């Protein structure tokens, strides 16, 4: 197949202390990415502020904003000015008492090309997202852009092969995961290593199983918990993988980084010809996947 190279950038950032400061950092990153020739930029999950889901407090809902809203206006204006496809991640206020964790896609325009509402919502120690986010209702639908059909999912979705598969079956050309994941500082180092390795491995598996490139952009840095608990050390490690799970680029564990990679979109066709997983799926035998568990 002919080579169709797409230069992508992932903006791995820390919380700068305010929404305005974070958006200023995003603007600087987008400008740098565009100057370097990137055409697609992926931002981290909930990039406008701290990861507030470490506790449950009704005051945190004040962080949410409408879509369209102030952040989409600013990021969309930059996407148009710089000629970029941008995948952003926001705390959406849909209505009073109805909020989502939402990824928004811009296609070289201030107009919103599409959005995805996080489907899998965790409720774990220090990740109390069910208190804040209503599970998504837009399904697993890729967003069509000038660089291809983007299968955008969000963080906890990355542990579920079903989401990646459904995006692939709907015609996604790439899988993208804005993410906020990290360590409990009290865990032993071997446990930390296992968690990070599992996070990387499962996503590389999605790339392999679907024959698609995959981009995962995580936040980095330590964020204290508002309730005095131990906080989270976000482990960075953003990466880009090819359709056989091969690393195309990897970011450091700790520290801000603008990560670049050249993705050959033509390789998906080549890989799917030698590994025809979609051909050999036994769709006649998968009915039990719709059951919670086989008792």
**Residues in CB range of 87: below 8 A, 6 or more apart:** 40, 41, 42, 43, 103, 104, 105, 150, 152, 176, 178
Q: How far apart are CA 97 and CA 119, in angstroms?
A: 18
Produce one character per residue of 168-197: b if its CB has 16 or more CB atoms within 10 Å, e if not: beeebbbbbbbbbbbbeeeeeeeebeebbe
Output the DSSP codes for 136-198: P-S-S-PEEETTEEEEE--GGGGG-HHHHHHHHHTT-SEEEEEE--EE-TTS-HHHHHHHHHH
Which position among 155, 217, 223, 257 bears the catalytic label? 155
Which position among 13, 60, 115, 118 bears the catalytic label? 118
For the question of residue 130 being annotated catalytic, the response is no
For the question of residue 7 being annotated catalytic, the response is no
Which residue from 148, 143, 177, 144 is spatially nearest to 160, judged by alpha carbons? 177
Burial class (CB in 10 A: 0-12, 13-18, 19+), 283: exposed
For the question of residue 53 being annotated catalytic, the response is no
Catalytic residues, by residue number, are 45, 118, 155
């Amino acid at each position: 197949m002919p080579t169709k190279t797409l230069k992508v950038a992932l903006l791995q950032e820390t919380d700068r202390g305010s929404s305005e400061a974070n958006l200023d950092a995003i603007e600087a990153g987008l400008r740098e990415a565009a100057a370097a020739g990137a055409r697609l930029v992926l931002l981290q999950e909930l990039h406008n502020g701290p990861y507030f889901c470490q506790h449950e407090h009704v005051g945190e809902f004040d962080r949410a904003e409408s879509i369209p809203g102030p952040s989409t206006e600013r990021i969309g204006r930059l996407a148009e000015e710089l000629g970029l496809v941008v995948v952003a991640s926001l705390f959406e206020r849909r209505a009073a008492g109805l909020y989502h964790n939402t990824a928004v896609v811009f296609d070289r325009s201030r107009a919103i090309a599409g959005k995805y509402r996080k489907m899998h919502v965790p409720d774990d120690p220090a990740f109390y997202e069910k208190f804040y986010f209503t599970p998504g209702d837009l399904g697993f639908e890729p967003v069509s852009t000038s660089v291809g059909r983007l299968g955008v999912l969000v963080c906890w979705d990355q542990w579920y092969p079903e989401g990646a598969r459904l995006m692939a079956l709907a015609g996604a050309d790439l899988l993208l995961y804005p993410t906020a994941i990290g360590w409990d500082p009290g865990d032993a180092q071997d446990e930390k290593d296992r968690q990070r390795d599992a996070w990387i491995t499962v996503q590389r598996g999605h790339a392999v199983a679907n024959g698609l490139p995959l981009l995962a952009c995580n936040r980095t840095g330590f964020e204290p918990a508002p309730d005095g608990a131990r906080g989270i050390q976000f482990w960075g490690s953003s990466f880009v993988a090819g359709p056989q799970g091969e690393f195309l680029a990897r970011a450091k564990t700790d520290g801000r980084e603008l990560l670049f990679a050249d993705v050959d979109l033509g390789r998906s066709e080549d890989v799917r010809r030698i590994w025809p997983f979609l051909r050999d799926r036994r769709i006649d035998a998968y009915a039990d996947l719709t059951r919670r568990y086989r008792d």
